Every structure is written in C-alpha cells, then in structure tokens.
Amino acid sequence: MKALKVSQLFERIDNMDEKRRCILCGKVVSNTRNHYYVHYPGHYTCAHCPAVYTRSDTLLLHMRTKHPTIA
C-alpha cells in the first residue's frame, strides 16, 4: 500500500476545529503528524547503539538521555 501524505490521511471533524479523524483507523486525534507514524513508521536508528525508533523526536530524547556526552 502506498503511503498517503499527512493531509490526505485525516478528515476534519465539523464541531472540533483542532481534532481530525484518521481515515485508516477512525481514531480522532489532535496531533496528526504523530498519529501518521502509527500507520507509516519512519526508521530512526541510533548511531551509537542498536536502538531504533519510529519518530525522530523519540530518537532525539534517547540521544539526550542515553548518550548525553555525544548529543
């Protein structure tokens, strides 16, 4: 299945301006970019250990906590 763009994956909910509904699973979310990675995970690998993450911000947090002298 081809990955959709973030804007294509969500539909606006009439009475909730900041909330969107995912067209793949029906979940209502406020952070569309984070939910996008539930269906289309990225691959962010730590260069200093075998840890792999689906989100770049999680890798950054890992770097700050596990490798503070490098980050």
Mean pLDDT by 10 residues, the chain (71 residues): 81 83 95 88 90 89 94 60
- What is the number of structural domains in the chain? 2
| Domain hosting residue 62, numbered range | 41-71
Which residue(s) pair with 21 in the sheet? 11, 28
Residues 31 and 57 in one domain: no
C-alpha torsion sign, points 49, 60, 55, 29 = positive
* pLDDT at residue 48, as a whole number: 95
Residues 35 and 47 in one domain: no
Residues 19 and 48 in one domain: no
* pLDDT at residue 16, as a whole number: 65
Smallest Cα–Cα separation from 47: which of 68, 61, 58, 63?
63
